[in-house]
Amino acid sequence: MLDNNVYNLYVYWNNTNFLCCYEACERMSRLASPFPEFSKFRLFKLSPPQILVGGFAAVILIGTLLLMLPFASASGHSLRFIDALFTATSATCVTGLVVVDTGTHFSVFGQIVILLLIQVGGLGFMTMATLFALLLKRKISLRDRLILQEAMNQSSMEGIVRLIRRVLVYSLVIETGGAVLLSLRWAADMPFGRALYYGVFHAVSMFNNAGFDLFGNYRSLTAYAGDSVVNLVVMLLIVSGGIGFIVMADLIEYRKSRRLQLHSKVVLSMTGALILTGAVVIFVFEFTNTRTLGSLNFGGKIWASFFQSVTPRTAGANTVDIAGMRQATQFFIIILMFIGASPGSTGGGIKTTTFTLMIGAVVSMLRGREDIVLFRYRLAQERVFKALTITLLALLLIVSVSMVLSTTEGHPFLTILFETTSAFATVGLSMGLTPELSDAGKILLCLTMFAGRLGLLTLAYALGPKQGKPLYKYPEGKMIIG
């Protein structure tokens, strides 16, 4: 009864400060506990961002220990701790950067461990924990709802469990469909058992935007650059995982409601614009490059252009040699990776909505308007501040890491910037630097992937809880800008 009252109180005061409500819930929970002195030592003392950070770190640690087991490697020798840590971090953060080749170095056991880490990391460990709770018919507590709200980047707890159920169903259906189609295609090239295993692995990897592959020698999907089936299925998996579960739910309900939320309209329009623009730019820049599109027929050029435009949505797979691209194309892909996927998805980056809001702010300023209007909706100024904060923090992190790696690694700056952006945006595309990184560079990229997957604001709230809103305002000042 108490949980329902607290839940209703939270929904009613949804626009008030988050942490104040959370502290009130904590106090009421302590009063309701038969052991109030013991309850203060519970996990409930941690805020949702702190639990998310600790949970992902625990999953990475467990994955590291499993990958260090001798039978996790095909050779039977234990993987170095730093390499196991990097692989586990890349899989859990659904990045795809690798220091050892997944297809040749790891045994089937090691590959399955990586696959499980990808699934847990893509959907979120709290989503997986909710799955087990639902299977065991256990009640989802208020604390769990608060953590799920933070994990799914929602503004309210209302309907959060229903959303999690949909996330699980959508993921299972899409991954199963992708696995079947890929298995049937690859059954023509390899034994059916192996084709089925490859189909399942790559369907999960691509839907979760991880980019891990089993084809060996860091080839990714380059052998299928002109294959329409592989290209189409993989691109659909990547886009499905990258647009976010909220948009998927909105699209499915469109037949009944005949309307889309503002969030869905922004995500779909910006995703489509980025994919189309990226395909055109890559097609033009790489048309005569014999190391990429130049050696393909016209149809292959079209498929490869669209695939390389889709994969910076934080997927990490590639059908042409990224290192062989012209520098202009590589820099353009860095921009696409920085933007990344959409909120509530398996991808990273600053997100398409953040980029849209920044573009909207620029357009409004140039037109002399005070408000940002998208699809006839005015956006609150608080959203602009959040978008600006996320963008500047991301730029600061990428620039700082790139500067340090320029000191520790002896590679061209564009290569370092590409790899750093790929790590932060949890993309996994590589120009060949990652396998050659020093131990210091591997640790730095591990931290970058971790920050990119959880989100810089979540990490900031976990390290230093957000303060309540001030009860006063300072006098307005004037400063010359521009």
List beta partners, residue 373. Answer: 378
How would you label 422-433 residue by residue, b for 16+ Cβ within 10 Å and e otherwise?
Answer: bbbbbbbbbbeb
Q: In angstroms, rounded to a whole number, what is the distance separating the alpha carbons of residues 83 and 102?
A: 12
pLDDT at position 20, please?
A: 45
pLDDT at position 133, please?
A: 60
Contacts of 305 (CB under 8 A, 6+ apart): 279, 280, 282, 283, 286, 293
Q: How many CA atoms lie within 13 A of 59 on its CB side?
A: 28
pLDDT at position 148, please?
A: 61
Q: In angstroms, rounded to a whole number, what is the distance separating the alpha carbons of residues 166 and 145?
A: 15
DSSP string for 327-364: HHHHHHHHHHHHH-S-TTSS--SS-HHHHHHHHHHHHH
In a 3-state reduction of DSSP, which class is residue 372? Answer: strand
Q: How many helices and strands in the chain, by DSSP H and E?
A: 22, 2
Rounded to the nearest 10 degrees, what angle do helices 160-186 and 125-135 cross at? 100
pLDDT at position 21, please?
A: 45
What residue type is 115 in one-letter code?
A: L
Render each residue's pLDDT in the chain as its tens digit; 482 residues: 444 444 343 433 443 444 444 444 444 444 433 334 434 434 446 666 777 788 889 999 999 999 999 999 999 999 999 999 999 999 999 999 999 999 999 999 999 999 999 998 887 755 665 665 655 566 666 666 666 665 555 555 556 667 777 778 888 899 999 999 999 999 999 999 999 999 999 999 999 999 899 998 888 999 999 899 999 999 999 999 889 888 888 888 888 888 888 989 999 999 999 999 999 999 999 999 999 999 899 999 999 999 999 999 888 899 999 999 999 999 999 999 999 998 878 788 999 999 999 999 999 888 888 888 888 888 888 888 889 999 999 999 999 999 999 999 989 999 999 999 999 999 999 999 999 999 999 999 999 999 988 887 777 776 665 566 677 777 877 787 76
- CA torsion sign, 209 to 215 to 217 to 223? negative
pLDDT at position 257, please?
A: 81
Contact 64, 442 (CB under 8 A): no
pLDDT at position 16, please?
A: 41
pLDDT at position 17, please?
A: 44
Q: Which two tokens stand for residue 84?
A: 């196991």
Q: In angstroms, rounded to a whole number, what is the distance separating the alpha carbons of residues 350 and 356?
A: 10
Contact 99, 434 (CB under 8 A): yes
**Would you call 134 exposed, middle or buried from its count of C-beta atoms within 10 A (0-12, 13-18, 19+)?**
middle
**Run of H or E residues at 373:** strand 372-374
How far CA 440 is from CA of 57, 436, 467, in Å, comes to 19, 11, 35
DSSP string for 413-465: HHHHHHHHHHHHTT----SS-GGG--HHHHHHHHHHHHHHHH-HHHHHHHHSP
Q: How many CA atoms lie within 13 A of 100 on its CB side?
A: 24
**Run of H or E residues at 231:** helix 228-243
Q: In angstroms, rounded to a whole number, what is the distance separating the alpha carbons of residues 361 and 119?
A: 36
Q: In angstroms, rounded to a whole number, what is the distance separating the alpha carbons of residues 72 and 94?
A: 19
Q: In angstroms, rounded to a whole number, what is the distance separating the alpha carbons of residues 454 and 461?
A: 11
Q: Which two tokens stand for residue 414?
A: 């564009």
